[in-house]
Amino acid sequence: MMVTGPSPYSVQIVKDIDAKGGNVVDALVAGALELAVTHPYYGALGGGGFALVKINGEKTALDFREMAPKSANPDTYKDKDAKASLTGGLAVGVPGVPSGLYELHKKYGKLKWAQVVEPARLLAEKGFEVSGEWVKLTTRNHDRFTKDGQEIFFPKNQNLKPGDTLKQPQLAKFLKRYQKEGAKAFYEGANAREIVDVVNQTGGAFTTDDLKNYKVRWLKPMMTKFMGYDVSLMPPPSSGGVVIAQALKLVEKTKLVEKTQPLSVDEFHGLIEIEKLSYRNRSQLGDPDFAKNPTDDLLKDEALDKLASMIKPDKAIKSASLLTAEEKQTIENAAKEKAETTHMSVMDSQGNTIAMTVTLNGDYGSGLVTKSGIALNNEMDDFTTHPGKPNMFGLIQGEANAVRAGARPLSSMSPTIVEKDGQTVLSLGSPGGPRIISAVFQVIYRSLARNLDVDVAIQSPRVHHQFLPDQVKTDANKLPPESIEGLKAKGHSVDFSSTAKVYAIRRSSDGMLSAAADARGEGAAGGH
Ligand code: GLY
């Protein structure tokens, strides 16, 4: 069994769970809970996520995305500035992680629930060594934290250094209750009241019923074919599946593999144009319980042929040329970003696998930390809080993603599984807000269309274009200067910043596993 994800602790935990007879879901749940202890800025129980699971040939998708509280409505943020959906109580959606992990285990787990929670509880009680990433992200959030957050993450008012040990006795206590009671420990009783208190004292409007009524959704994975492979993707409320499926189809329709050399300017240009056109329609998507998603229309051959015909080898399409007159008037084109999400995949040699992406949205989410040491998300910013205006990721969102009580905000998280003739080939995903989609797309492309091994496919330079802003983002120091000049000569505006962090496991036809973590940040891959 192998794992890839952001934390070195998870490799040992997964090996231990494997040795005890646990399956990939037991291993992933134990690993995800470990992240809640060691990586609270994105792995916390106060967030949400998605998982794609393949067990004994059966595939399912789990949506444990945060949900808007009953008090939320399309005008919640109307007269408020952009900060209201980023920091404080109004930024928080009802968390889904504690229920998601519990339901995953209930449906698929082999070990006892208490056994899969135990490694995380021990790390909270006995302490773990904080990393450079932990110190950077925690320090920069000091002033956003509630008093409990400051006391927990800055013990005795000190800044921890990489390698220092942090104990979290309050979280260990909560995890003990979670071991005994399951998801109820989070959504009812003292913990639910703690959450309601901290949210409502900082401008939000939660009730204990908002927590009690939280439910995960089991969904059918979205399927597409790419060069003879079967790709299982996350359906709405993630936009990831739809956009990746469009992009993969456009690779085929534009004959990118046949017409360009790997890592050439022409290939990067083609990838950029494909991404630009695939992201164009993201704003039409939303929670399927509240909006009708035009998924079938977007993936129709005629629609894709039209997009493919727009791509020219020598000239970048200007995003503004595709905007309607109304959009031109209302859309504010600006980019900002700062995001914290993470991904973990586990696979065994039979090809059973789970790919899970979780997030608090921004690092440490809303800045609210409960008395138990649980950081709460700021996922409400993923809704269309201010129509026509870019959100934290520079994304302009649409009506389908309006703020509504009980709805889940549109996401870009894209846990993905690839198979060939029923055999598992890849399990992957990434953090990075909208950059998740372009990163997962390009790693699938490099692995399957260019036959690179999983590590090289991940570490290769990537380009990101999300339609608006009309700008290519690429990793500084990965593309040679002549490639940048080549892209500019075709009319692209190029900006440098890192482009997501992909974690992937590949399985060969004889059952050999190879796992890799992106060298763009901290991470670990291992197992046997
Ligand atoms: N919070 C980022 C996303 O879900 O896309």
Tell me the pLDDT tens digit for each residue of 167-195.
999 999 999 999 999 999 999 999 999 99
Catalytic residue chosen out of the listed positions 76, 146, 260, 341: 341
Distance 436 CA to ligand 1 centre (A): 9
Please give the distance, rounded to the nearest whole angstrom, from the Cα atom of residue 150 to the centre of ligand 1.
25
Average pLDDT over residues 46-75: 98
Counting from 1 in the atom list of ligand 1, the atom nearest the Cα of 379 is 1
Name the strand (E) or helix (H) holding 506.
strand 503-507
377 alpha carbon – ligand 1 mean position (Å)? 11
**Is the per-residue pLDDT at 335 higher than 60?**
no
CB 268 within 8 A of CB 487: yes
382 lines ligand 1 (CB under 6 A): yes
Ligand 1, residues 382, 395, 440: which to mutate, most atoms within 8 A of Cβ? 382
Interval 270-308: pLDDT, tens: 999 999 999 999 999 999 999 999 999 999 999 999 999
User: Vertex 470, ends 411 and 262: CA angle to 5°?
Assistant: 85
* Three-state DSSP string of 173-233: HHHHHHHHHCCHHHHCHHHHHHHHHHHHHCCCCCCHHHHHCCCCEEECCEEEEECCEEEEE
Bond into 390 cis (ω within 30): no
How big is the chain, counted in residues? Answer: 528
CA distance 467 to 275: 8
Q: Which ligand 1 atom lies nearest to the CA of residue 48? A: 4
Q: Distance (Å, rounded) from C-alpha 424 to C-alpha 68?
A: 35
Provide the CA 203 distance to its chain's centre, in angstroms: 27
Measured in Å, residue 443 CA sits from the centre of ligand 1 at 19
What is the reported pLDDT for 337? 52
Q: Is the CB of 47 under 6 A from ligand 1?
A: no
State how far the Cα of 479 lies from the Cα of 488, in Å rounded to an integer. 13
Assigned token pair, 327: 């959009």
Amino acid in the structure at residue 186: F
Distance 373 CA to ligand 1 centre (A): 22
Per-residue confidence band for 514, with pLDDT thresholds at 50, 70 and 90: very high
Distances (CA, A) of 47 to 1, 10, 91, 465: 27, 19, 12, 27
Question: Which amino acid makes up residue 64?
Answer: F
Whether the Cβ atoms of residue 319 and residue 467 lie closer than 8 Å to each other: yes
Q: Which H or E element spans position 51?
A: strand 48-55
Query: Ligand 1 mean position to 220 CA, how many Å?
Result: 20
pLDDT computed for residue 395 by the predictor: 83
Overall average pLDDT of the 402-426 stretch? 98
Q: From the CB of 412, is ligand 1 less than 6 Å away?
A: yes
Check pocket membership of 358 for ligand 1, CB cut-off 6 A.
no
Mean pLDDT of 442-456: 98
Asked whether 397 lines ligand 1 (CB < 6 A), one says no
The ligand 1 atom nearest the CA atom of 381: 1
Atom of ligand 1 nearest to the CA of 240: 5
Residue 334 DSSP symbol: -
Determine phi and psi for 29, rounding to 5 degrees: -65, -45
Q: Decide: 361 in ligand 1 pocket, CB within 6 A.
A: yes
Task: With a cut of 80, say whether residue 498 has pLDDT above it.
Answer: no
The protein residue whose alpha carbon is closest to atom 4 in ligand 1 is: 411
Distance 361 CA to ligand 1 centre (A): 6
Using CA positions, which residue lies closest to atom 2 of ligand 1?
433
In the residue annotation, 60 being an active-site residue is answered as no
8 A C-beta contact, residue 233 and residue 223: yes
Q: What are phi and psi of 196, to 5 degrees?
A: -60, -45
- Say how many C-beta atoms besides its own lie within 10 A of residue 50's C-beta: 30
For residue 392, the model assigns a pLDDT of 82
Residue 357 CB–ligand 1 contact under 6 Å: no
The mean pLDDT value for 141-166 works out to 97
**pLDDT confidence bin for 388, thresholds 50/70/90:** confident
On whether the CB atoms of residues 380 and 72 are closer than 8 A, the answer is: yes
- Atom 1 of ligand 1, nearest CA residue: 361
- Give CA–CA dist 60/58, Å, rounded: 7
Predicted confidence at residue 169, as pLDDT, reads: 98
Mean pLDDT of 97-122: 98
Q: How far apart are CA 355 and CA 339, in angstroms?
A: 20
pLDDT at 336: 53
Give the DSSP letter string of 18-44: HHTT--HHHHHHHHHHHHHHH-TTTS-
DSSP 385: S
pLDDT at 44: 86
How many angstroms separate the CA atoms of 295 and 346, rounded?
Answer: 29
| CA 239 to ligand 1: nearest atom | 5
Give me the mean pLDDT over the 124-132 stretch. Answer: 98
3-class secondary-structure state, position 167: coil
Average pLDDT, the chain: 95
Please tell me the residue having the least CA distance from ligand 1 atom 3: 411
Q: Is the CB of 359 under 6 A from ligand 1?
A: yes
DSSP, collapsed to helix, strand or coil, labels residue 48 as strand
Burial of 188 (0-12, 13-18, 19+ CB in 10 A): middle
CB 155 within 8 A of CB 67: no
Q: Give the number of other Cβ atoms within 10 Å of residue 444's Cβ.
A: 28
Q: What would the pLDDT profile of 182-241 be if each residue is shown by its tens digit?
A: 999 999 999 999 999 999 999 999 999 999 999 999 999 999 999 999 999 999 999 999
Q: Is 433 in the pocket of ligand 1 (CB under 6 A)?
A: yes
Confidence of residue 139 (pLDDT cuts 50, 70, 90): very high
| Distance from the alpha carbon of residue 22 to the mean position of ligand 1, in angstroms | 30
Residue burial 351-390, b: 16+ Cβ < 10 Å; e: rest: bbbbbbbbbbbbbbbbbbbbbbbbbbbbbbbbbbbbeeeb
Sheet holding 503-507, edge to edge: 222-226, 229-233, 416-420, 423-429, 503-507, 513-517
Residue 392 or residue 440, greater confidence? 440
